């Protein structure tokens, strides 16, 4: 993309865009398309440069042909899109992407990074290719920097910077050990770049180099932020000369942990943790227990009396609409410091939590739930990038910190690593290497106790055709969990590329044996999504009480797997579109239920909890999103006679090897009034509170839909007395849309990717965390706050009424005694 001077004559700058094989010019004032030009189909790389040709403003469009031995240039008039010239350069060697256009010259790397080629931007002819002089000339790679007079190349030992002009390459400097180079900064007639890297001992450095004379200035860098620098840019307040730039330079660096840091004169001015915009996993843990030290630290940071008076003054001005933006910001800061939401220790209700978040870059954060401020952050040393976050250890001592587990693979090594962190401080407590690549991480339902803590146990499945299963931790206490003959461990895996789902049983020494396999041809039955119940989700009731006081027994099999297969978006049209919902038992591979939706296609999103599953999909027939619900019940006949009670014929223990004689599946479908991109269900501490389906919308918001609206038994006609007793909602084809049911209110979570739910200590309340480029945390009460007084409860009035009644009782007692005494004397 390039910004052009006013080529349309409307008084504003215009925009040239090179995208998807087309060159477009768009009006900067109205956004209207001025003209478009289609590029050749065999162009695999394009560069756009603003230039002049015969006193006319032109766009120089340079592309690499698919044959990779021809570089073509089109000269296009910026006003009309007319092609005024075409040039072609033939090379003796294949050219590598990308191309670079500097000072009227086209530069390219050829012969696998061994040669640097140069050719004129305007005018044809053969290219000049030769090894780079003044720097190691092997494994060369062009780097994109914003400069008209500088060209940067990555070498096998560092970075080479070339000063270029109309006549070609003027001079070259090579900086060994450099890993990044910044865009150029002009200081009068001079132009310079910053190169940064790290020494062998891990110490980071940055150096400013001026083009031409190559004088350098070493910049002071702090060593606090972990990880290498992957990108850099710099600026200065006064750039009239080299000396002014050197005295007031500010360096902005991007670390491999996705942290954005402004550095100046050896100190960090500010830090932005951009890795929080790519969170892939979360844990909700308790903050430290209350202690005199934490309380004293909080009191020391609390507002003083004068600040509290100032806050009241600002609050009055804000209510009158007379507060300035600075006063409003100061008021918000003072309110946050006075609020109990930011206390650094846990509360009895479990409303203050520690969120441990894992980002895509492998950086881990400890975040306070009160306002989202970062308590600690850690990027593992040695280039380790974990991909799994899980709970490791929870102490029986309330003063001890829980520990979390980080797990990941080492690229191109066939090995993996693990590390454990103190959740309260982020300190690494242990680490180790694993001599195999991990494909799956399975948490075992049973945890072990060693007298001091509760230890989670994980089964690690190796990435092999014949997988092996290893325990973490592997000890004499945990090994019986894997080697119990009558309770073998089962797991499943899917391969969406081949459409195969396989089930395994783990035998002695961790060997996994294939038990069953199901294949779905990806051509017409691709695996769109899968869903399983939560491992530790509590189940309060094993039966559903109907309106006539009869019971329906829920089918609560923890080995239930929901699989949606069918047509992917854009793959088929008309009658060929379909979605099929399958429910499997992952131990035996038995298909428990299946139903097909004709005229539907993906994307499909699903959530499975207890005995029900809700999934959404696109209905091409109705041109709307639809949601379907399945509820599973054990409808086997039961007779509780004396023989059955004595000999256990009606054993309530559920086994995959003894499926119910009759499995009843209730189904229903509804129209969804918005597009759905993710689904989740609320989770409470005991499972008593009714569920809410958290639906991530296409507008990047979270909508709360009561599970009662997804009840497949909603009556189609007038509700009967039994329906009313059961509080069933009459059926409606479309689910309701109420603005007050948006959990995010008027907020937008950009690029919403997932929703996580976790219980608070109170049964009525749970947390919902929406993850995207932003993070949004809120408390949800699916059945209202039946076990909690509201925050605006009039405690003062209650106390005053109670004291008044006590005083009145005492006064009445005294008066009664005096009256009784007078009656006795009379």
Pairing, β 259-264 against β 95-102: unpaired
Mean pLDDT of the chain: 85
Q: pLDDT digit string (tens) for 354-396?
A: 999 999 999 999 999 998 999 999 988 887 899 999 999 999 8
- Residue 48, domain member (yes or no): yes
Cβ–Cβ under 8 Å, residues 285 and 353: yes
Question: How much is the pLDDT for 560?
Answer: 94
Its pTM stands at 0.81
90-103 pLDDT, tens digit per residue, is 777 777 777 788 87
pLDDT at 197 over 70: yes
Please tell me which residue, 125 or 268, carries the higher pLDDT value: 268
Domain end: 342, 369, 403, which one?
A: 342
Q: Show the tokens assigned to 68.
A: 């990779």
Rounded to an integer, the average pLDDT of 262-268 is 74
* DSSP secondary structure letters along 684-714: -SSS-SPPEEEEEETTS-EEEEEGGGG-TT-
Distance of CA 88 to the CA centre of its chain: 46
* Residue 91 contacts residue 135 (beta carbons within 8 Å): no
pLDDT higher than 60, residue 330: yes
pLDDT(327) > 70: yes
Residue 75 covered by a domain: yes
More confident residue, 755 or 88: 755
Q: Give the pLDDT confidence score for residue 514 in this predicted structure.
A: 93
Model pLDDT for residues 216-263, shown as the tens digit of each residue: 777 766 665 555 677 766 665 445 666 666 666 777 888 888 888 887
What gap in Å lies between CA 786 and CA 805, rounded to an integer? Answer: 27
- More reliable by pLDDT, 505 or 219: 505
Match 């710099």 to its residue by tokens.
Answer: 234
List, for residues 152-169, the tens digit of each pLDDT value: 888 888 888 888 888 888
Does residue 30 form part of some domain? yes
* Interacting residues of 232 by C-beta distance below 8 A, sequence separation 6+: 180, 181, 182, 194, 196, 206, 251, 252, 253, 254
The predicted structure's pLDDT at residue 561: 96
Q: Is residue 46 assigned to a domain?
A: yes
Rounded-to-integer distance, Cα 334 and Cα 320, Å:
19
Outline where 586-641 has alpha helix (H).
none
Higher local confidence (pLDDT), 268 or 673? 673
Mean pLDDT of 469-492: 86
pLDDT in tens, 660-670: 668 899 999 99
Specify the range with the lowest mean pLDDT, choosing from 330-339, 671-680, 807-816.
330-339
Residue 186, pLDDT above cutoff 60: yes
**Structure tokens that stand for 644 in this block:** 């059955």
Of 589, 628, 625, 588, the C-alpha closest to 608 is: 628
pLDDT exceeds 80 at position 483: no
Which of 2-11, 213-222, 791-800 has the lowest average pLDDT? Answer: 213-222
How sure is the predictor about 515, in pLDDT bands with cuts at 50, 70 and 90? very high
- Average pLDDT value for residue range 769-774: 96
Q: Classify residue 247: in a domain, yes or no.
A: no
In the numeric block, the tokens 């040393």 are attached to 381
pLDDT band at 780 (very low <50, low <70, confident <90, very high): very high
Q: CB-based contacts of 230: which residues, under 8 Å, 6+ apart?
A: 179, 180, 254, 255, 256
Calpha distance 328→308 (Å, rounded): 14
Residue 411 — very low, low, confident or very high, per pLDDT cuts 50/70/90?
confident
Contact between residue 714 and residue 688 where contact means Cβ atoms under 8 Å apart: no
**Can you tell me whether residue 170 is helix, strand or coil?**
strand
Give pLDDT, residue 657.
67
Nearest to 633 by CA among 659, 608, 611, 652: 611
Query: What span, in angstroms and rounded, lies between the C-alpha atoms of 698 and 719?
Result: 34
Whole-number Å distance between alpha carbons of 513 and 468: 9
Domain with 326, as residue range(s), is 291-342
Residues above pLDDT 90, as percent of the chain: 40
Residue at 647 is within a domain: no
Structure confidence at residue 647 as a pLDDT band (50, 70, 90): low
Burial of 437 (0-12, 13-18, 19+ CB in 10 A): middle
Q: What percent of the chain has a predicted confidence (pLDDT) above 70?
A: 90
| Residue 3 · residue 12 · CB < 8 Å | no
- Span 170-195, average pLDDT: 82
Report yes or no on 119 lying in a domain: yes
Among 131, 161, 176, where does a domain finish?
A: 131
pLDDT of 243 reads 66
- Residue 714 near residue 729 (C-beta atoms within 8 A): yes
Rounded CA-CA distance 507/69 in Å is 58
Number of domains in the chain: 3
CATH code (residue 40) = 2.40.128
The answer on pLDDT for 438 being more than 90 is yes
Tell me which residue of 599, 578, 586, 593 sits closest to 525, measured CA to CA.
578
Pick from 231, 235, 267: which is nearest to 250 by CA?
A: 235
Please tell me what DSSP assigns to residue 635: -
Highest mean pLDDT out of 208-217, 643-652, 803-812:
803-812
**Is residue 50 included in any domain, yes or no?**
yes
CA–CA distance, 426 with 401 (Å, rounded to integer): 10
Domain-terminating residue out of 105, 131, 157: 131
């Amino acid at each position: 993309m390039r910004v052009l001077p006013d080529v349309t004559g409307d008084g504003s700058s215009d925009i040239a865009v090179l995208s998807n094989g087309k060159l477009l010019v768009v009006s900067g004032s109205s956004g209207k398309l001025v003209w478009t030009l289609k590029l050749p189909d065999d162009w695999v790389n394009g560069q756009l440069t603003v230039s002049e040709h015969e006193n006319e403003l032109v766009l120089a469009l340079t592309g690499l042909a698919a044959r990779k031995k021809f570089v073509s240039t089109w000269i296009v008039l910026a006003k009309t899109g007319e092609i005024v010239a075409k040039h072609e350069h033939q090379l003796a060697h294949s050219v590598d992407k990308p191309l670079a256009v500097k000072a009227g010259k086209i530069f390219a790397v050829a012969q696998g990074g061994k040669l640097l080629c140069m050719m004129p931007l305007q005018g044809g002819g053969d290219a000049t290719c030769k090894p780079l002089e003044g720097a190691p000339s092997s494994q060369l790679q062009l780097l994109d920097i914003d400069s008209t007079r500088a060209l940067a190349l990555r070498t096998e030992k560092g970075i080479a910077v070339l000063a270029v002009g109309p006549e070609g390459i003027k001079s070259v400097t090579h900086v060994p050990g450099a890993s990044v180079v910044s865009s150029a900064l002009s200081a009068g007639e001079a132009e310079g770049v910053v190169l940064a890297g790290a020494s062998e001992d891990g110490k980071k450095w940055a150096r400013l180099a001026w083009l031409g004379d190559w004088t350098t200035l070493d910049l002071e860098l702090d060593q606090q932020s972990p990880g290498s620098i992957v990108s850099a840019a710099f600026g200065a307040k006064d750039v009239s000369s080299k000396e002014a730039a050197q005295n007031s330079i500010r360096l902005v660096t991007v670390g491999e942990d996705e942290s954005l840091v402004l550095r100046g004169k050896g100190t960090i001015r500010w830090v932005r943790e951009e890795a929080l915009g790519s969170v892939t996993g979360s844990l909700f843990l308790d903050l430290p227990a209350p202690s005199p030290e934490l309380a004293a630290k909080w009191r020391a940071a609390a507002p003083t009396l004068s600040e509290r008076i100032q806050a009241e003054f600002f609050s009055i001005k804000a209510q009158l609409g007379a507060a300035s933006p600075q006063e409003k910001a100061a008021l918000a800061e003072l309110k946050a410091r006075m609020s109990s939401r930011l206390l650094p220790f846990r509360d009895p209700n479990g409303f203050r939590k520690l969120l441990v978040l894992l980002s895509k870059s492998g950086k881990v954060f400890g975040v306070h739930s009160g306002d989202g401020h970062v308590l600690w952050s850690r990027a593992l040393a040695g280039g380790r990038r974990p991909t799994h976050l899980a709970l490791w250890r929870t102490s029986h001592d309330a003063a001890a910190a829980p520990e979390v587990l980080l797990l990941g693979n080492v690229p191109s090594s066939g090995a993996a690593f693990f590390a454990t962190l103190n959740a309260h401080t982020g300190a690494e407590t242990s680490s180790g290497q694993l001599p195999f690549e991990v494909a799956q991480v399975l948490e075992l339902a049973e945890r072990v106790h060693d007298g001091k803590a509760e230890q989670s146990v994980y089964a690690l499945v190796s990435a092999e055709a014949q997988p092996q299963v290893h325990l973490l931790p592997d000890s004499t206490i945990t090994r019986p969990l894997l080697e119990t003959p009558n309770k073998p461990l089962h797991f499943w895996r899917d391969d969406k590329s081949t459409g195969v789902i396989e089930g395994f049983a783990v035998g002695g020494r961790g060997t996994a044996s294939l038990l069953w396999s199901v294949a779905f041809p990806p051509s017409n039955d691709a695996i769109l999504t899968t869903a399983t119940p939560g491992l530790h989700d509590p189940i309060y009731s094993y039966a559903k009480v109907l309106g006539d006081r009869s019971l329906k027994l829920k089918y609560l099999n923890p080995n239930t797997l929901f699989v949606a297969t069918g047509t992917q978006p854009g793959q088929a049209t008309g009658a060929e579109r379909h979605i099929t919902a399958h429910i499997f038992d992952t131990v035996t591979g038995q298909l428990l239920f299946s139903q097909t939706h004709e005229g539907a296609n993906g994307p499909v999103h699903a959530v499975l909890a207890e005995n029900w599953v809700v999934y959404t999909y696109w209905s091409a027939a109705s041109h709307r999103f639809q949601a379907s619900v399945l509820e599973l019940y054990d409808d086997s006949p039961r007779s509780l006679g004396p023989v059955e009670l004595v000999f256990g014929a009606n054993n309530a223990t559920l086994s995959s090897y003894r499926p119910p004689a009759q499995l009843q599946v209730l189904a229903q479908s509804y129209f969804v009034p918005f597009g759905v991109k993710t689904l989740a269900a609320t989770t409470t501490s005991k499972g008593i509170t009714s569920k809410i389906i958290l639906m991530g919308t296409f507008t990047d918001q979270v909508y709360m839909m009561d599970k009662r609206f997804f009840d497949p038994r909603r009556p189609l006609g007038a509700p009967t007395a039994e329906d009313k007793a059961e509080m069933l909602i009459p059926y409606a084809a479309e689910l309701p849309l109420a603005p007050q049911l948006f959990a995010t209110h008027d907020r937008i979570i950009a690029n919403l990717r997932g929703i996580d739910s976790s219980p608070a200590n109170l049964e009525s309340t749970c947390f919902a965390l929406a993850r995207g480029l932003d993070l949004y945390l809120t408390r949800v009460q699916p059945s209202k706050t039946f076990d909690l007084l509201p925050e605006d409860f009039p405690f003062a009035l209650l106390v005053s009424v109670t004291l008044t009644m006590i005083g009145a009782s005492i006064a009445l007692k005294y008066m009664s005694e005096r009256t009784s005494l007078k009656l006795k004397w009379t």
